[in-house]
Amino acid sequence: MELTVVDWLEAHQLPCLVKNALGIECPGCGFQTAIFMLFRGEITDSVKTYPALIPLIVFIALAAGHFTGIKKISPVVLKITGFVCLIIILISYLLKLITH
């Protein structure tokens, strides 16, 4: 079986310092796993693992576009997109804490 770059990266994920130190997951736990699922085309499972993944990708793309000079991307759009990401992260984290 051939080892792909995604397989290698997945096998060498960065550990969560919060989880290691406190024993509880942080709001970012699951992000790396969700990225690898997305790379494999497992979009539904990726979003289930980390619900804010797609909005975060959109936010990062908009921010990169804005900061590289695309004038049509206003700071207001960035603020709204960032706020939506933050809300999704917090709600999904609270739900994860409650259900586990």
| pLDDT tens digits, 49-79 | 999 999 999 999 999 999 998 888 999 999 9
CA distance linking residue 22 with residue 35, whole number of Å = 24
Q: What radius of gyration do the chain's Cα atoms show?
A: 16
Burial of 50 (0-12, 13-18, 19+ CB in 10 A): buried
Q: What is the pLDDT of residue 56?
A: 96
How many domains does the chain fold into?
Answer: 1
Q: How far apart are CA 26 and CA 19, in angstroms?
A: 7
Per-residue pLDDT tens for 4-23? 888 888 888 889 999 899 98
Domain containing 77: what range?
Answer: 5-99
